[in-house]
Structure 1
Amino acid sequence: MLVMLNEKIKVGAIFFKGFPKPVWFMYYGTKVFIKRVIYQWKEREGQDVIYKYTVTEGENIYELSFSKENLEWYLVAIDEGKY
């Protein structure tokens, strides 16, 4: 079941050549370690560049986004038990 959240979250990320790569994120007090980045892309919203990721911890699929302008991460959606 796909659940749209659009919640601001804390993320541990590695920045390589100017591109962020999420490694873990906090979800309701639990640190979720990312096993695999399934897909990544970027979009523009006005002047802002939004980096988007579809990731998994091995069980669920999550969509994360990072705003280059305001340096904030969001948990956009979760698809529980589909991976």
Structure 2
Amino acid sequence: MCDDLQVSYPKDFKWSSWHVSCTCFLMMTLKTQSELITEINNGQNFSSEASENFIANTPGNFNAWLSENRESLEKRKSKPYFLEENKKFVK
């Protein structure tokens, strides 16, 4: 599961782990160095959406994993936290 879902997600995707005993960790995706230098030199603060590193949607592998596991997830009494906390991304 972890290998299948390892990729970059939108900044408002709430995540703490994929499963019980998960050892994965979260890394932030930042603006590029040139974007930061330009902002500092010009005294500006552009929104994160203006960055070339901005991630707007969940990645294809997340959507594929959801499709492949939808039936078993619907049968579960309790849903994984990352699904409950990210209902706007679950299609």
TM over 0.5: no
More strand as a share of residues? 1
Quick one: higher RCO (CA 8 Å, sep 6+), 1 or 2? 2
TM-score (ref. length: structure 1): 0.22
Larger radius of gyration: 2
More helix as a share of residues? 2
TM-score (ref. length: structure 2): 0.21
